[in-house]
A and B are shown apart, each in its own frame.
Chain A
Amino acid sequence: MTPDLWGELFRFDNYAELLALVQNSIIAGAVLGLTGGLIGVFVMARDMAFAVHAISELSFAGAAAGLLLGVGVVEGSLAGSLAAALLIGVLGSRARDRNSIIAVLMPFGLGLGILCLALYSGRAANKFGLLTGQIVAVDNPRLTALLVICGIVVVGLLVVWRPLTFLSIDPQVAEARGVPRVAVSVFFMILLGLAVAVSVQIVGSLLVLSILVTPAAAALRVSASPLVVPLLSALFAVVAMVGGIMLALGGSVPISPYVTTLSFLIYLGCRVVGRVQDRRPRLPALVTAP
């Protein structure tokens, strides 16, 4: 690696001063990591990784439209996200339906977003930021909005945690035991839409999966405990977000490659650990003499 490239990627001059400047971003990153890590557990349990991607592209379209029409990026991305989440939730209750709806929504969202950006005549950095993230520019009002939305998502998740788990693992029995399937599913999609919308504004729509899916997938490699998995997942996501921001501070490239790389490395590490765990001798088959 040439010294120039290295300098572009990592530079730690005046680090303490820089750190003070991006205090907001670090708080945002930590809260986002916590939220993404927690909801990611259910994204995995419900096998909805690609639904997250589709929601994020419609969220991008919404944000781009918000930019173009002057209603605001946050409002636009929330609207796009929620619309996509509800569409997928209502139309795609079965896995096969869901896959096709996601495949239909993704290019439409991306195309719509590109159209809006092409028509937008403002700063170019805003455009690129919607796709790849712009975490350095978190001002106080945006931080407040993010904290409120993440708070709603986390509290909402805690409320439906058990029935949502039941429904994700064993829908038939859960429904027979009285879990309101449609209500709980739609509620989860709304929470997912909110989580995606805030993530899009920070890490960009193309990279949302690295916060909402990768940490949970990593945690699931090393544990199946319903307590350990969400805690690890949240921890991984926070480490990836905050670590990524701190590594990226001095460099001149966007923040997201640092976050996605950290997230990916954590996943690789967990795969190795999981492999080692699997090699340990298994319990003997159970004897059930009648």
Chain B
Amino acid sequence: MTDLARVDHHERVSHHDTGPEVPAVLSVRGAALAYGDRTLWSGLDLDVRPGQFVAVLGPNGAGKTSLLRAILGTQPLTAGSIEILGQPVRRGHPLVGYVPQQHLADRGTPLRARDFVGLGLNGHRFGLPLPSRERRRTVDAMLATVQATPLAKMRIGDLSGGEQQRLRIGQALIGKSRLLLCDEPLISLDLYQQRAVSTLIDQSRRDADRAVIMITHDVNPVLDMVDTVVYLAAGQVRIGPVREVLTSAVLSDLYQTPVDVIHARGRIIVVGLPDIAHEGHEAHPHPVRGRR
């Protein structure tokens, strides 16, 4: 594993145009996480530079969400360290935006789309939410960025899954975040909405030199955007570009069973994953759970 990670390090330096002199937004060193005697992952070394798009893949229960939570500072590591722009992680870091695993807002949720996006700006501060022209302008601009201007005054509970997801991304981006963490942002969206949301995420890293870390069970919708894959499985980690990690050899080695990775028509299909990893990398046509 470490071999591969090291290979990747050199690879990325030449591969990525930002170069090694640009300080990493996120650096993870020797990180390990265990619950009791069960080790989710260990020996995780990762540098994420501005503009980089990292996809975190792996079966259910491999510790993908725990990794995001460790970066958010809400999950302490068992070993190792995580730094954001050279400082140890802490909860509520102003430069980190977070889009949690989707749960749709209740119909009666007493908030409009623009208020929901505005929470990302200063929802964590104490005191009265005094309206200001500047705040209004910032929220309006973000609504436009996530193509939600016509939704501004609608209740979030009345919006479809894709619309709510775009607003969540707006909420995560509005605080000038340098690192965007997304947990399965495409789940339960139809292909059209998947495209809209992933394009939005991709643009946000290009426009603002923001790094993106996205957990996904299906790499295909973001295949042309991903620079680096972090594959968590069976307590181990593989890190590298898509073509180096998503291979029959690497996955067979990880899962200790023959796994075939098929590249076909610009898509990646993984066949033969053991039961613990029954969710493959095939595109699942998830039904839209929106309630319109």
Contacts and interface: CB of A to CB of B under 8 A. Distances in A.
A59 B16 CA distance: 64
B218 to A, nearest CB: 18
13 contacts: A158-B128, A161-B128, A165-B111, A170-B116, A173-B100, A176-B100, A177-B120, A178-B91, A225-B115, A229-B110, A286-B163, A288-B166, A290-B199
A185 to B, nearest CB: 14
A72 B112 CA distance: 45
Contacts of A203: none
Interface in A35-84: 41, 44-45
B150 A175 contact: no
A169 B116 contact: yes
Contact of A175 (B91, B99, B109, B127): B91
A175 B123 contact: no
Contacts of B154: 283
A193 interface: no
Interface of A: 41, 44-45, 158-163, 165-166, 169-170, 172-179, 220, 224-227, 229, 283-286, 288, 290
Given A288-B196, A290-B195, A179 B92 contact: yes
Given A176-B74, A288-B147, A290-B199, A226 B125 contact: no
Contacts of A227: 131
Contacts of A159: 126-127
A25 B91 CA distance: 47
B124 A286 contact: no
A163 B148 contact: no
Nearest to B159: A286
A162 B129 contact: yes
B72 interface: yes
Interface of A is mostly: helix
A39 B227 CA distance: 48
Interface string B179-198: 00000000000001101100
A163 B124 contact: yes
A44 B110 contact: yes
B216 interface: no
Nearest to B73: A176
Interface string B246-287: 000000000000000000000000000000000000000000
B122 A224 contact: no
B34 interface: no
B57 to A, nearest CB: 22
Interface in B77-132: 91-93, 96, 98-100, 105, 108-112, 115-116, 119-120, 122-129, 131
A222 B67 CA distance: 42
A220 B106 CA distance: 13
